[in-house]
Amino acid sequence: MIPLLNRHIFLYSGLTFLLTALVLVLSLTWNGPASAGPIPLSFERNHAIQCIRIVSALERYHYLGKKMDDSLSEQIFDRFIKYLDPSRHLFMQKDLDKLSVFRHRFDTELRRGNLKTAYDIYNLHHDRASERLNFILELLKARPSPLPLNSPDFLEIDDTHASGNPI
């Protein structure tokens, strides 16, 4: 009998493998930052085939015999969002509210090789990252003088009390 802690570690590693494989498949077509704007990911048949194989292997060969269901769908979805935006600086609450309808559908879509939702989430993340970068660059351009590095002022960063989705 495997101790409960080891079961959770193995289940977590299976989910991590699936999530990592999904992000890897999504990022393979990203060509890096472009000055003309973000290049959205697009569907490729081999991505769908690989997704079906990964899900099938996870269901068939995982030692717990874990099946893709709504509970696992929620975990995969939450980890995907957390993986893309761990500090919760990019996705807005309205984005998370809009995307929350996919929490229970992720398992069905992944099992069928339908990566449209995953692509849409990744592209939204890419758009938000691009918007944030442009905003920061505009702030830096608008600043009339260089930052005073000898100033006694300080900025305390503590996002433990940040509002938003506790993912």
Distance CA 78, CA 76 (A): 6
Q: Which amino acid is residue 35, in one-letter code?
A: S
Mean pLDDT of 133-159: 77
Average pLDDT, the chain: 77
Q: Is the pLDDT of residue 83 over 90?
A: yes
pLDDT per residue as tens digits for the range 90-130: 999 999 999 999 999 988 898 899 999 999 999 999 999 99
Q: Exposed, middle or buried by CB within 10 Å (0-12, 13-18, 19+), for 97?
A: exposed
Instruction: For 79-118, give the DSSP string.
Output: HHHHHH-TTS-SS-HHHHHHHGGGTTTHHHHHHHT--HHH
Domain ranges of the chain: 4-29+40-142
What is the reported pLDDT for 128? 94
| CB-CB neighbours of 166 under 10 Å | 7
pLDDT per residue as tens digits for the range 7-34: 444 444 555 666 666 665 555 545 554 4
What is the reported pLDDT for 123? 92
Q: Is the pLDDT of residue 3 over 70?
A: no
Mean pLDDT of 130-143: 86
Q: What percentage of the chain exceeds 70 in pLDDT?
A: 68
Q: Exposed, middle or buried by CB within 10 Å (0-12, 13-18, 19+), for 82?
A: middle
Cβ neighbours for 167, distance < 8 A, ≥ 6 positions apart: 78, 81, 82, 88, 96
